[in-house]
Structures are given as C-alpha cells and as structure tokens.
Amino acid sequence: MSEKVCEVKNLTYLYPKSDKGVKNVSLYVNKGSIVGLLGESGCGKSTLAKCISSQLIPQSGEIVCQKIGYIFQDNYASLNPAKRVGWLLKETIKYGNPEKFSEYEKRIKNILEDVELDESVLEHYPSELSGGQRQRIGIAMALLSNPDILIADEPVSALDVTVQKQVIKLIKKLNERKNLAILFISHDIKVVREICNYIYILKDGELIEEGDSEDLFTNPSNEYTKNLLDSSYLE
Amino acid sequence: MKKIKLNNQKKAGIIIVVIMIAFVLLGFLNKNPFDLMNKDLILKGPSFSHLFGCDEFGRDILKRTQTGMGISVAISVFSVLIGTFFGTIIGALCGYFGGIVDEILSSIIDVLFAVPSLLLALVFVSLFGSGYLQVTLALGIAIIPSFAKMMRSEFKKQRELEYVKMAKLLKIPTARILFVHILPNVTETFLNCVFIAFNNCILAEAGLSFLGIGVQPPLASIGTLLSDGGGYIRRAPYMVFFPALTLILLLFGIGLLSSGESFHHAYSKRFKD
Amino acid sequence: MLTVKDLKIEFFDHDLPEVAVKDVDFTIKDGEILGIVGESGSGKSMTAMAIAGLLNRKDLTKSGMIDLDGTDILNSPRSKIREIQGNEIGFVFQDPLNSMNPVLKVGAQVEEAMRIRKKELGFSKEDMKNRALEVMKSVGLDDAERIYESYPHQISGGQRQRAMIAAALVLKPKLLICDEPTTALDVTVQKRIIDVLKELNQKTGTSILFISHDLSVIKALCDRVVVMKDGLVVEEGSVKEIFENPTKEYTKQLIF
C-alpha cells in the first residue's frame, strides 16, 4: 500500500444561488502516480481543483494534501506579461521557497534543466516565447516550491498536438524522476489515456466512474463513459 | 526584447511637447523681467526687442508667457502627481478587492465624479483660499475620481487573470501583487489617463486663474494672461493671441501623446494564429 | 468544383513581408468532403478565408488562383464576391458564441442571408421563416420553433453551432466551409455536429471544406485530407492513405 499524498473526502462545493459545483466527491492520489480527472465543460473539474488548492473554500468535506504545485491551463494569462521570465522564477522562489533564496541562481538553473529549457529564456518576456515554452515555464514555477503533488488543470489543452506530446512526455519524465504525484485534469480522453494510471470521470459535479486506465477504456461500465469514448474517435 | 513602438501621432506629440518645454526653458535666457512695468511700452505691439509685444503695464508678454506657461505646467504636474497617487491606490483597492470596500469607496467616487472637476476645484479653492499651492492641491483632489474609476476597471480586469491567481497561490503579499505584479500591466491606460488628466489640469488652472481665483498677480499663468488680455482684445489682440497659441500647442501636443495605439508593442502576441 | 492553384498570401508585419500561405494547390470535387489539418500558424484558416473571399485587408497581398465553378474569387470585384458568399459558399466559424449577435434572435440571424437578398429571391416574411425552420430542422434542431424565437445565450453551445450551420446553408450553397466548427465544443456534442455534416453531405450533395487541428475528427468525416504546416502543403491524399501510410514524419506526429 503506497502512501497517499492527497485525499479528498466527501467534498461539496456549490456556487452561490446555483446547483452547479461538485457534490460529495471522494478521491485520492498515491505517491508517484498520475491520476486523471476527466469530464466535459461544466462538470466541475476545475472547481474541484480550486478547492484542493484552497482557491475556493468547500461547504463540506475534508481535504488532506501535502504540498501542492499548480499548473494553469492558459499559459498566456498565467505568466505576468510585463515581467521577464527570470524575474518570474526568482519571485516564485522568493515567496514559494524563501529558505532557499540564497541559492536561487543554482535552483533556477536546475529547474530549467528539468523542464528542458535553455537559459536564454530568462531574458525574454512570456509573449516572446512559444506556447510550449510558456507551459514549461508554468511547470517550472510549480516545481520551484518543491511540491509533493502537482495539480495540472488542462495543462495541454491550449497547445498544438505535436507540442502536447512533448509536454506530456515532460510531465511523465518528471513523474518518474522525482516520484511526483500528479492530478491531471482534462476534457481530452486521448491525452488522459496517454498519461494517466488511474482515472476518475466527473459528470455534473459527481464522480460517475473510476478505475485503472486500461480497464476503463476497454470495459467502461457507465453509459455516459461509453458515450464519451464513442464520441472521441479513438483509434 | 521590449520594443517601444511610437506611431506618428505620438512622434508629433513628442516633438511639440519638446518644443514647448524648450520655449519655457528659453525664458531663463530672456533678460526682460516678467514683472517690470514700463510706461513707455504700454500696449506696444510685437517688435524685435519684445517679440510678443507688451501688455497694459508695459511688461514683456514673451517673458510673461514663458513664466506663465512654466507655472501652469508645474501646477499641473504636481496636481497630476497627487491625483495619480491617490487615484491609483483607491482604484486598485476597489478593483482588486471588490465587495464592501469597493461599494463604499466607489459610491464616494461616483458622487464626486458627477461634479465637473473645475467646479470641484472651485469649491476647494473657496475653502482653502487662492494661490498656486491651493490651486495645485484643489486640482489634484479634483482629478482623483476619474483616475480611481479608470484604475478600478483595469484592476478588476486583471484580477481575473491567472497570473494574479498564481501570485496569490504563492502567498505573495497583496500590496506587492497590486503594485509590482499588476501595475506594470496597466501602464497603457495609466499613461493615457496621466496625459488626459494633465491637459484637464492645464485647462482647469487656466480657468481658475481666468476667474481670478488661481495664480495671483503679478505672478503670471496662462489663465491670468488670457484674462488680462481679454480686456484689450480689440486694441491689442496679440495680448491674447500669443498666450492662447502656446496653450493650444501644448494641449495639442499632449493630446497627441495620449492618442493612437499602444506604447508597448512587446505585450501583444507576435505569433500568428 | 473548386480549384486552388499556387495560392500565396503574404502579410506585412512592421513593414516586413511574412508569408502566411505558399504554393497551396488542391481541388474539391462535387459532393466531396475535404479536410485541411494543421497546427496554429499553418495557414489553414487563411486559406479558408481566402476561398470564402473574406480576405480584403489592405495589408495582405494574394496571388495564385481560386476557381469556383468558373469564377476567379481572388480577382473578382467585391460585388461579385458578395453575390457568391451565401449563395454559393457558406461559412461556419469556430466560436458559435462570438459569431452570433447577442441582441438578435437566433431566427433572425438564420434568415439574415435571405433578408439581404429579399428582392432577388422574392421571399415574403412567411417564406423566409418557413425556409429557416426547414433548414434548422435539417441540421438536427428538432426544437426549431422555440430556438427560432430564442436569443443566442438561451441555447446551448451545440445548438448555437447548429444554428450557425443552418444560417450558412439557408441559400443552399454548393460549398460549405467550416473553420474549426467543433473545437470549442465538448466531444459528445462534437460527434453530433459531425454526424449532421455527414448526413447533410449525403442527402444534399453539398461539398464541405472542413478545417481542423484534430486528425481523428477529419478521419471520421472527410474523404480526402490536406496536411498543412507553416503555410505549405505537407501531404495530400485520401483519408485512408494518410492514416495507413503517412509518408511524412510530420503527419505521423499529428496522429495521436
């Protein structure tokens, strides 16, 4: 039995004056595993991510998580456009991991190696980088605070297919090398199938099915899951 | 790297503003004192020794225009500084926090906003008395509302962007998020506001001085020059013409600075979609 | 029916010419569904817009030939192009929310193409409404009467996109150009839209030019596919060929 780095028990968060949100969701992420959270727009997957990363305060339920790193979907808006990449990384260390600030240059160098970027990006503004490079910077910023679990909210949805593949490869590599747990949130079945070991399927705020990646794709039990698989033109 | 791209309007604006600043600075080389009266030169038209002519007390209008312009600009610069400082802080707080803070501050701002800034300045001047310090303060306070309003909407927009959420997740202090992270992203609006406010200040100061409650004689400002010249407009039209011309040129130059598109081009996406 | 030959589009960025599309050749036969697949910056949307005659910007230079049943779209006067748009070419955009006017009822927007040609067509109000409802039903909007009276925000994303397809089809164009019509939609909704397009093609024989970044969608819908990268055509062939034997490395990378 491996260690749980993040566990959510009976979590409920409903938006004010509506019945949208997440209802009574329980899930956990083991150390070193990549867990997928799959659902269509409006199913509450981002809400769940926001609750876990304490951007939203749930009405009921329990969240026990070790240190979280967060990757946003929109790599354009998630990096401050007015600052150079070097400044952004430095700021992240300064506030995310202040005890290590004295050796920040070394840290930045290491982290850039981890995400396979050249040091020249430090001098650039985010708008001068490509989408894939920006998302790598996003990942680097999440890693700088030494997280135990990475929450990735649609990290590759805005990217081109070939770039998606590279970023997915990178996330897999980080998972293996650092034994980092990842909660991978996406609407894209192909991407989730590619990367995740275990998958939860969310619909209208409720978990409707879960299982090992293999089982779920070969033997979906729920009608909705079947429909979802059927609609995705999988090979 | 960051490119500053200037369109033709901005280039023209910069040229005009530089000329006007040079005009004011050249005043230091002009040996005619601005307040020396000379009964031989009363209402004497433009000549080589007095390019803009002389006024009803025989004072050199060129020198008075240069001094007056300098004082007007100085008053406006300091008013804008006061207005931007408080306006930005209030706007940032309202826009970023929203909720009850926003509601209270915004309603006060809205009430003040409903009154024209010249009128507002007039009220302040009548409370504090006239003179250039009072005018500066009055104009500064009078432009706070419009600044606060613009900044509020900008900060409100930025608050929703993910880089701000990211900064929050990193537990960066709020003041730092507001003024180090967000502010550089609203420079565009900020600068345009500054230019427009500056023009409004110049005009409002001229208005107040024209009404006789701004800068007091013998000190000159563009407003007092216009008001003095107004009485002699038939006998000596140059008394109004030259100060008015410099005022128009300055306003025009600054107006051009705030026109057109962005100062910063680097922020826009260069990647074709 | 449509022949594109040596199409080249350049635009000027800070007075430097940049090539958006170059040496693009392809044809669409009657009743065929052609897919163009490519990533961002590949020039696929530019090509589609050029075919629809939507590229009139002054900072663009275009050369080559686009021939639609004997009309040269690139070099025709604007009045001629306006006649072709709607009548012979229908266009569906990516984002159904932004391509609809939020203050007009859906019905009015579906009728728009007919309304501006009211005199030539000799349609009365009744005729237009009947035609609009007919087309809306044909694209799978079973609840056409209600949607006709709704505003865009009152219906779902899938319904909006169907309404936009209906609006493009209302004058029975010979060619329907769809620029990433399903990218903003959920997969289950996407599948239904694809099914609607397929059915439409089979029933009416309308040719379709379908632009997408997603090869699997193209595979499900199209007969032939053109792969574009950086403004150039990388590979062209029947969907079967491309999927079974992609000759170019780039095409392989696109297949997930």
Q: By CB neighbour count within 10 A (0-12 exposed, 13-18 middle, 19+ buried), where does A204 fall?
A: middle
Write out chain B residues lying below 8 Å of C40, CB-based. 271-273
Write out chain C residues lying below 8 Å of A201, CB-based. none
DSSP classification of residue C165? H
- pLDDT digit string, tens, across residues C32-88: 999 999 988 888 988 998 898 888 777 788 888 899 888 888 888 888 888 888 888
Using an 8 Å CB-CB cutoff, list residues of chain A that contact chain B: 53, 55, 70, 72-74, 76-83, 91-92, 95-96, 123, 125, 127-128, 130-131, 141, 145
pLDDT < 70: residue spans in chain A: 1, 235
Type and span of the H or E element at A123: none
A234 to chain C, closest Cα gap in Å = 7
- What's the confidence (pLDDT) of residue B118? 76
Write out chain B residues lying below 8 Å of A76, CB-based. 269
Residues C160, C145 share a domain? yes
Residue that finishes a domain, picked among C172, C196, C227: C172
| C93 occurs within a structural domain | no
Cβ distance A83 to B269 less than 8 Å, yes or no, reads: no
- pLDDT digit string, tens, across residues A37-66: 999 888 888 899 889 988 888 999 889 888
- pLDDT digit string, tens, across residues A162-198: 889 999 999 999 999 888 999 999 998 888 988 999 9
Residues C212, C195 share a domain? yes
Residue that finishes a domain, picked among C172, C189, C206: C172
- What's the confidence (pLDDT) of residue B54? 77
CATH architecture of the domain covering A1-66+148-235:
3-Layer(aba) Sandwich (3.40)
**B19 has a pLDDT exceeding 60:** yes
CA distance C164 to C191: 16
- pLDDT digit string, tens, across residues C204-248: 999 999 999 888 889 899 999 999 998 899 999 998 888 888 888
Residue pair B143/B80 in contact by the 8 Å Cβ criterion: yes
Q: By CB neighbour count within 10 A (0-12 exposed, 13-18 middle, 19+ buried), where does B89 fall?
A: middle
Q: Which distant-in-sequence residues (6+ apart) come within 8 Å of B184 by Cβ?
A: A80, A82, A83
CA distance A121 to C173: 49
Indicate the residue of A131, A230, A233 with minimum beta-carbon distance to C219.
A233
Chain centroid to CA A123: how far? 26
- The number of residues making up chain B comes to 273
Chain centroid to CA A64: how far? 17
Which CATH fold would you assign to the domain B8-20+60-257? MetI-like fold (1.10.3720)
B268 pLDDT band, cuts 50/70/90, is very low
- What's the confidence (pLDDT) of residue C227? 92
Residues C79, C124 share a domain? no
- What's the confidence (pLDDT) of residue A235? 65
Cβ distance A70 to B169 less than 8 Å, yes or no, reads: yes
The model's pTM is: 0.81
Whether the bond between B237 and the residue before it is cis, its omega within 30 degrees of 0, is no
- Once rounded to an integer, what is the mean pLDDT over residues B257-272? 51
CA distance C76 to C68: 11
Indicate the residue of A161, A194, A227 with minimum beta-carbon distance to C213.
A161
Write out chain C residues lying below 8 Å of A187, CB-based. 186-187
Instruction: Please list, residue by residue across C92-119, b when 16 or more beta carbons sit within 10 angstroms of its beta carbon and e when fewer do.
Output: bbbbbeebbeeeebbbbbbbbbbeebee
Q: What is the mean pLDDT of chain B?
A: 82
- pLDDT digit string, tens, across residues B56-86: 777 888 888 888 888 888 999 999 999 999 9
Helix (H/G/I), strand (E/B), else coil: C193: helix
Predicted-complex ipTM score: 0.82
Residues C30, C1 share a domain? yes
Rounded to whole angstroms, what are the CA distances from C178 to B68, C129, C132? 65, 24, 19
CA dihedral A36, A40, A44, A48 (to 10 degrees): 20
Q: Where in chain A are all domains bearing CATH 3.40.50.300?
A: 1-66+148-235
Q: Measured over all CA atoms, what is the biggest interatomic distance in chain B, rounded to whole angstroms?
A: 76
CA atoms within 13 A on the CB side of B246: 32
CA dihedral C239, C240, C243, C249 (to 10 degrees): -70
B266 pLDDT band, cuts 50/70/90, is very low
Ranges B64-78, B136-150, B171-185, B207-221: which has the least confidence: B207-221
C28 pLDDT band, cuts 50/70/90, is very high
Domain range holding C232? 1-88+173-256
Residues C218, C155 share a domain? no
Domain count, chain C: 2
How many Cβ atoms are within 10 Å of B216's Cβ, its own excluded? 14
